[in-house]
Amino acid sequence: MDGELKQFIDDRRYSLIDQKHPDYNRFPKYYTSHRFEILLRPGERVFIPSKWWHFVQSEDPDPDTGLNVAINFWYQSKDPRPARFGWHNLNVNEIIDIVKKQESLMVSRSPLGYFPPGQFAHKYNNKIKIESLTYDEFISTKNHELYITQNYIEELNKFSPWPENSNVRSQVWINFGNCFTIPHWDGEDNWLCQLQGNRRVIIAPNDETSNLYPMNPYPDRLLETIERQMTSCPYIHFNNDDISESVIREISEAIGTQSEVHIECDDLSAAFARHMSHFNIILEQNGVGFNVLRPTKRCSLFHIKKFKKGDKFLTPEPNLLVSIIWALTPVELNIKGKNHRIKPGGAILYPNSWLFPVVILEDCMTATPFKDEDSQ
């Protein structure tokens, strides 16, 4: 999957909430969400089920070391299990000794008081940096802007509740206290164990997503469908006379000898509505306040164009999540290295992104959605 698309899909896992105590005016729905709050002290742990939101706040550090330390163990369980509290007898010194042996550790730097993942640096004016330090270098800084996170150390797996399970992934979280990571969910079950200092954990089931302001507000069902399509066949083909021969004749007469025109066409509008409706209906049912085509839900104006072999196709409507090409004559084209042939009256849908370049492989005529400035 392309990096841009992967990031788009992954954004659903992270919240826009960037305050320890969310501002009611900015995030009112947060206060209506069904959530649980737990304060973890050394020797205590919490089980966070797969896809449960968690808002983890490091509070007071250990008075002797000045550190707030936790370790977590991700794994895939066979049966769904509820969130729950528990205890552990892990030895923090043994764990730190293993961390010290690492040649370098990935360290997040943030002046914000909270730590979004490094891949979101562009969303925060590039204030988030990822650095490489040894454990001793990190400790010597005593810098509250630094946080050891996202380091997967295989040797730590022996401390997991299932040391024989090869699917366990272990990670330490070390900071100087009084900071937090943004609310998010993970695709695996997770035991989070507190070792030094106190850590406040707020968790909520996945069905509270609409109240927790995900960066990507599209519903999971739609995103999972898109992800599945993108990793297998990202094209939806309709070769079943999407528009009739009589409509094609009318459009052909309208363009005549011209190379391109814009026309209004009720039949194309109806076909467009059919293809978009399942996206927009799903979004509306899940409380999302915008649609695939913005700012309207329909399209009445269409771009008709004659292409020559070797021409590159650029979508005339940038506001669509997907591009639609209707064939008015037989069309053969290449989208991102894959050839497609569309019969007259048929259509192809594909992601509207520069990641999916289109090259026309034979002389042809097409119709695509178009919306000029006056139609807004």
What is the per-residue pLDDT for 254? 87
- Same domain, yes or no, for 151 and 36? yes
Residue 3 lies in a domain: no
- Same domain, yes or no, for 310 and 244? yes
- Same domain, yes or no, for 175 and 248? no
Q: What angle do CA 291, 116, 201 make, to 5 degrees?
A: 100
Query: At CB < 8 A and 24+ separation, what contacts does 85-92 make?
Result: 85/38, 85/44, 85/45, 85/46, 85/47, 86/44, 86/45, 86/46, 86/47, 86/191, 87/43, 87/44, 87/45, 88/43, 88/44, 88/45, 88/193, 89/43, 90/159, 90/193, 90/195, 92/42, 92/195, 92/196
Question: Residue 343's closest CA among 240, 234, 236?
Answer: 240
Looking at the predicted structure, is the pLDDT value of residue 163 above 80?
no
CATH of the domain at 364: 2.60.120
Looking at the predicted structure, is the pLDDT value of residue 375 above 50?
no
Distance in Å from the first CA to the final CA of the chain: 34
Confidence of residue 173 (pLDDT cuts 50, 70, 90): very high
- Same domain, yes or no, for 181 and 42? yes
What is the per-residue pLDDT for 371? 61
Looking at the predicted structure, is the pLDDT value of residue 13 above 50?
yes
- Same domain, yes or no, for 206 and 281? no
Looking at the predicted structure, is the pLDDT value of residue 293 above 50?
no
- Return the DSSP state at 14: B
What confidence tens digit (pLDDT) does each residue in 189-237 have?
A: 999 999 999 999 999 999 999 999 999 887 777 777 666 655 554 566 6
Residue 8 lies in a domain: no
- Same domain, yes or no, for 64 and 168? yes
CA 329 centroid distance within chain: 38
Residue 6 lies in a domain: no
Contact 74, 189 (CB under 8 A): yes
Q: What angle do CA 8, 49, 77 make, to 5 degrees?
A: 105
Looking at the predicted structure, is the pLDDT value of residue 298 above 80?
no
Q: Give the range of the structural domain holding residue 249, as residue numbers without chain letter.
A: 220-375
- Same domain, yes or no, for 149 and 241? no
* pLDDT > 70: percent of the chain: 81
Residue 366 lies in a domain: yes
What is the per-residue pLDDT for 314? 73
Q: Pick the residue with more confidence: 321 or 175?
A: 175
What is the per-residue pLDDT for 290? 40
Residue 85 lies in a domain: yes
How many domains does the chain contain in total?
Answer: 2
Confidence of residue 167 (pLDDT cuts 50, 70, 90): confident
What is the per-residue pLDDT for 39? 97
| Range scoring the smallest mean pLDDT among 4-8, 100-104, 288-292, 352-356 | 288-292
What confidence tens digit (pLDDT) does each residue in 131-143 have?
A: 999 999 999 999 9
What confidence tens digit (pLDDT) does each residue in 250-274 have?
A: 888 888 889 999 988 888 888 777 7
Residue 290 lies in a domain: yes
What confidence tens digit (pLDDT) does each residue in 20-52 have?
A: 999 999 999 999 999 999 999 999 999 999 999
Mean pLDDT of the chain: 84
- Same domain, yes or no, for 329 and 267? yes
- Same domain, yes or no, for 105 and 140? yes
Q: Which of 186, 211, 236 is the C-terminal boundary of a domain?
A: 211
CA 65 centroid distance within chain: 37
Question: Residue 345's closest CA among 327, 320, 319?
Answer: 327
Q: Which of 211, 238, 256 is the C-terminal boundary of a domain?
A: 211
- Same domain, yes or no, for 134 and 206? yes
- Same domain, yes or no, for 204 and 224? no
Contact 75, 165 (CB under 8 A): yes
Residue 25 lies in a domain: yes
- Same domain, yes or no, for 198 and 248? no
Residue 47 lies in a domain: yes
Q: In sequence order, what are the residues at sequence separation of 6 or more whose Cβ sits closer than 8 angstroms to the Cβ of residue 64?
A: none
Looking at the predicted structure, is the pLDDT value of residue 285 above 80?
no
